[in-house]
Amino acid sequence: MREPEWRKTGKTPDYRFSLANERTFLAWIRTSLALLAGAVAIDQLAPDIAPQTVRIVLCVVLALVGAGLAFMAYRRWGLMEAAMRQDQALPFSRVLLFMTIVVAVAAFVFAVLILVAR
């Protein structure tokens, strides 16, 4: 894998900021993995929680959001590193709001499904 072009520009930021950015990237990856694990767990461990079609749709949506979040984690990490190298303001991301909404809606839907399944 070749080095990204943005790494050849600007000045190298303080290593503490780069490491903090990397920790944030890893937190996003952990969240992505949790969404994927949740999708697999619902499909394999809770077959009676909802009709098969509903369960499959929920699992696929969680898996797709998890995959998208993994992609966004890398993209966001690169944008933050590039901004730090150029001494620019860190870019704003709407992904945080999107993830908050997705997790809140998923929690609500699963709470309703658990209550209805009982």
Q: What would the DSSP string read from start to end of 107-118?
A: HHHHHHHHHHH-
- pLDDT tens profile 81-98: 999 999 999 998 888 898
pTM over 0.75: yes
For tokens 């969240």, name the residue.
31
Q: What is the pLDDT at residue 16?
A: 95
Q: Rounded distance, CA 59 to CA 43, Å?
A: 7
Burial class (CB in 10 A: 0-12, 13-18, 19+), 69: buried
Average pLDDT of span 30-46 = 94
Residue 118 predicted with pLDDT over 80: no
